[in-house]
Structure 1
């Protein structure tokens, strides 16, 4: 039995461990002040489990480059980037294209911060519902001749997941190169035996940060949130949909699932393929080469301008966040945002305020059905903070809104995997398409305006009159927002 003396020693030990972790937070992690203070409060008020939470959630990858290029690969990419920088610095060439001239600084930003080369031989198809997206995905996979490379945060063991896996198995048996990469946290409840038929058929699978024990993952805070699929170097998908029945609207909890996904044909596929190969090389510990078959020559398919931008805790710059900031600062008429999680840092928050106070029409839609309560209440608190500057805020009521979309002035837009939150900016491995095309952006804006029909506006009057219980939930969630 525990004596009072043993209990005292135990609590003293816990206190000492928390002090050690607190010192680690302050002196070694070098996080931003908001995150540091949040962890110190967790360690102070939850002394019995604070250090356990820190072990799972408080690790820092310290910007160590994880997805690296070989020397010859880096030289080839550098050559492309250098030529593009020279072109963008040539005033005579740029000024002949008024649209490109207006947004050349945006292209330069993505080039310099993420080596995101610009392409304009692209055709883009937009999907906003799961059925049309997955019908196209299945058809594209079935027609694969050379290779299929898939990378998804979540790949569920259910009807849709089983159907997609069967197609992959069939193609592998035909001799098509099939590689499937999934995230250890996103697929935490999916047993690896589910993917065994693919390896038996000749395909390959890899798990990003796999749990070292069932249901236990010490890298839980660092998630590969990317959704990439490339087929034969001719077709690619990027956006918000994962693989699972709920994304077809079959979830009793969420019902209709509203998302945004892109089907790309054209030269931007090379960038998506490049990111997949680097992710695969790291997760599979396989020295894959960048063969010519992965980057085939393509005929002219369209004229949509695209940059594929990635970011993660290993990145030197928060490239996707910086891209968002640049878009917001350049807006003259309107800014439309859809995001399931709205937890901006101070820079994004101030940029949106300034834009609205400058006369820009700023509108933000988030879900009305929370899938993560703390994140939801934190989101409403941040939205409430924008109302007095004229920003219009809405909650989507038709189902669950999972779309990650930002557009300005019916001219340029961004669609991908990154939410407008601190996690996506600093902790997750994300990837977005930045689109320089009035037609595609206008189409995306059309879907945004249509979504407003199924929204409830959060007015300043409603926000001020919220209950004490709601205010309490927001306060606690806001306090924890830097580590959500």
Structure 2
């Protein structure tokens, strides 16, 4: 009798579990549908949840949630931080941005509150040796504050040089604040950052993942690279703090692009850092001392510092990239380490090339991530068929993120041309509206072409079927790579 009661209870519990499980799955499906996403994103998640509900729930929890409606900082706090860069904003009645890019200026202003800043001087770095030499020199000159933010801050030779100098400045009384990405620095031991804390440096991790197996934060990373010194000098671009930018890898050099900005443009970097700092510390820093008066170096050097992330309504950097490519008249030159474009970006590049625009795409011949490289190759077929010229950089790994077009506009920063940068990461790019600077960056691209192998479409399209199948399979996971 007891055995029958036990079996009956198990049967009831089983039924209740199945009902709750089905309700949970159907609830998630309903949530996904009501989010009104792109059907190309909605349908795969619905199919996965219905056909493989167990695995589907886990993957959705980590990678599928839509955070567009979330806010990580209140509108009031955001406005208080962002109002300071307005002091260096270019008056609209004296704006000399090339006419084709006026709508882009408006787009970045409306979607990102990005001020149109003028009067900056920009130094270009195409190797880590020069960048870190100047970075250490500028850090040593700091008298009031150092704000430093990197996705990766390695405990290696260059990392320890920077750490030692930061600790020295903190002991001198300089305010030093360090922000690093928790996932990007997973391999760095706590001792490395604790030593800086003990020296008086304020150190915080962005979106700290306390329990990696039980959190969805792991998919949303802060990929920005920002340094601001006394509010007068700033650094941004694609380089993290690691020896590979100076020593390369065992299979070649590490080619990247970085900026040093002096002048009003630094205020845009400062605002971006202080917003992220508020997110992790809840400390609002918007005093005038962080936005000092700076010289006007060049009246025709106009820029916007633009951020993007997985929260908020708009995918600003993706929209800006599509706009820039769609409105190009002569040429579009792109360098990116990973090319996993959204459908909109994919179409924009093809349409530009088919319309007679000289579209050139430079990628690394060998990548640091094999799966991402395979997925990238699956997108190249469509590019070459449309007339896009593809170049593979041979000496080592090309990590540069550059877009230059029509001798008028240059875009550089931390964002790659891939789903992760546009959809999941917190990124920062600079849009520079200066013809002479665009021509300078065009020369950088042309110089790198001498180290490239031009893809021959007829040969490329004849790749072994097995290879193409593997690449197409990896393409399915491109939003997660």
TM-score, structure 1 normalization: 0.89
Q: 1:292 — aligned with what?
A: 288
Q: Distance in 1 between matches of 2:240 and 2:367?
A: 18
Q: How does 1:93-104 map to 2 (within 5 A)?
A: 93=94, 97=96, 100-104=98-102
Q: CA deviation at 1:51?
A: 2.9
Q: CA deviation at 1:278?
A: 0.8
1:352 aligned to 2:349? yes
Q: Distance in 2 between matches of 1:296 and 1:215?
A: 44
Q: Distance in 1 between matches of 2:142 and 2:59?
A: 44
Structure 1 pair 292/383, CA: closer, same or farther in 2 (3 Å)? same
- Any idea what SS the aligned residue of 2:111 has? helix
- Any idea what SS the aligned residue of 1:103 has? helix
The answer to whether the 8 A contact 1:394-1:456 is kept is yes
The answer to whether the 8 A contact 1:311-1:319 is kept is yes
Structure 1 pair 52/447, CA: closer, same or farther in 2 (3 Å)? same
Q: How does 1:125-274 map to 2 (within 5 A)?
A: 125-213=123-211, 218-252=216-250, 254-274=251-271
The answer to whether the 8 A contact 1:334-1:409 is kept is yes
The answer to whether the 8 A contact 2:226-2:236 is kept is yes
The answer to whether the 8 A contact 1:38-1:483 is kept is no
**Cα deviation per residue 1:150-170 (whole Å; 9 max; x = unaligned)?**
111111111211111111111
The gaps in structure 1 that reach 5 residues or longer are none
Q: Distance in 1 between matches of 2:476 and 2:82?
A: 46
**Aligned residue among 401, 406, 420 for 2:403:** 406
Q: Distance in 1 between matches of 2:20 and 2:128?
A: 48
- Any idea what SS the aligned residue of 2:437 has? helix
Q: CA deviation at 1:313?
A: 1.3
Q: Distance in 2 between matches of 1:428 and 1:477?
A: 20
Structure 1 pair 67/459, CA: closer, same or farther in 2 (3 Å)? farther
1:455 aligned to 2:452? yes
Q: 1:380 — aligned with what?
A: 377
Q: How many residues align?
A: 468
Q: Distance in 2 between matches of 1:481 and 1:358?
A: 27
1:339 aligned to 2:336? yes
Greater Cα shift, 148-157 or 434-443: 434-443
- Any idea what SS the aligned residue of 1:403 has? coil
The answer to whether the 8 A contact 2:179-2:206 is kept is yes
Structure 1 pair 194/78, CA: closer, same or farther in 2 (3 Å)? closer
The gaps in structure 2 that reach 5 residues or longer are 1-9
Q: CA deviation at 1:317?
A: 1.6
**Cα deviation per residue 1:128-153 (whole Å; 9 max; x = unaligned)?**
11111111111111111110001111
Structure 1 pair 207/296, CA: closer, same or farther in 2 (3 Å)? same
Q: Distance in 2 between matches of 1:227 and 1:284?
A: 18
Q: CA deviation at 1:111?
A: 1.3
Q: CA deviation at 1:439?
A: 2.0
Structure 1 pair 151/24, CA: closer, same or farther in 2 (3 Å)? farther
TM-score, structure 2 normalization: 0.89
